[in-house]
Amino acid sequence: MKRLGEYDDLQLILDERDANMNVSEAHGLASGMLCVQLDADFTRWVTAVFDTEDQLKALMNEDKQSLIGLFQGTAELLKTDDFIFDLLLPGEEERIGARAIALSEWCQGFLYGVAYMGVGDDKDWSDDSRGVLRDLMEISRLDADSADDSDEQAFMELQEYVRMGVQILMLELQPVDESEEDNEPTIH
C-alpha cells in the first residue's frame, strides 16, 4: 500500500529501533484503535509500538514522518465511503508462510488496538461483529508453518475476509451519525 508507505521501509524503522512488533502488527494496532475512535491519538499508538522512551527519542524526524504517514493514512482509508482500506502485509513476492504469519500478527495487533481503546467483551456486540472478532482471534493463532504455495487462493480469501470484517466492526464501533441520515433526500 503505497499510500501508507513501503512495507520494507517501515519494517526497517521498527527493526532499527527494536520495536516490540512488526509493521503488520503495528498497522493492525492502528487500525483497531482507529476503528474504535477515528481521531485516536498518534502518540498513544506510537508508544504502544515502542517499549521505551529511549526508543521513541531515537526516532529520527524522517522516521517519525513515515510513522505519522502510516497512522494518518490508515485513518483516511478507514474514513472513505469507498472502503479502499487494505491490510499492510508483505508483498506477493514473499512466500505464503511469511505472509500468513504477517496476517496473523495483523489480527493480533487489531484485536489489541480495539482492547487498548477500552472496548472489550463487556460491549454488547452484534452477532455479526462477535463472529468476526471470534474469527480474527482464530486467525491470530494461524499456524503458518504448514502453509505452502497451493494455499495462495485460501490466503487471498482470508485476507479479504479480514478486510471486510474490519468494515463490519467499523460500522458497529462508528455508527452512522443520525443527523447525516436526516439530511439525505427522501424519495417519494
Cβ atoms of residues 30 and 74 within 8 Å: yes
CATH number of 7-173: 1.20.120.740
Residue position matching grid coordinates 467499523 = 170
Whole-number pLDDT of residue 20: 87
Whole-number Å distance between alpha carbons of 102 and 97: 9
Whole-number Å distance between alpha carbons of 147 and 170: 30
The sign of the dihedral angle between the CA atoms of 149, 111, 163, 80 is negative
State residue 35 phi and psi, 5-degree precision: -65, -35
Cβ atoms of residues 147 and 111 within 8 Å: no
Whole-number pLDDT of residue 6: 92
Give 18-55 pLDDT, tens digit per residue.
998 999 999 999 999 999 999 999 999 999 999 888 89
Give 113-167 pLDDT, tens digit per residue.
999 998 887 788 899 999 999 999 999 998 766 656 667 888 999 999 999 999 9
Q: Tell me if the pTM is above 0.85.
A: yes
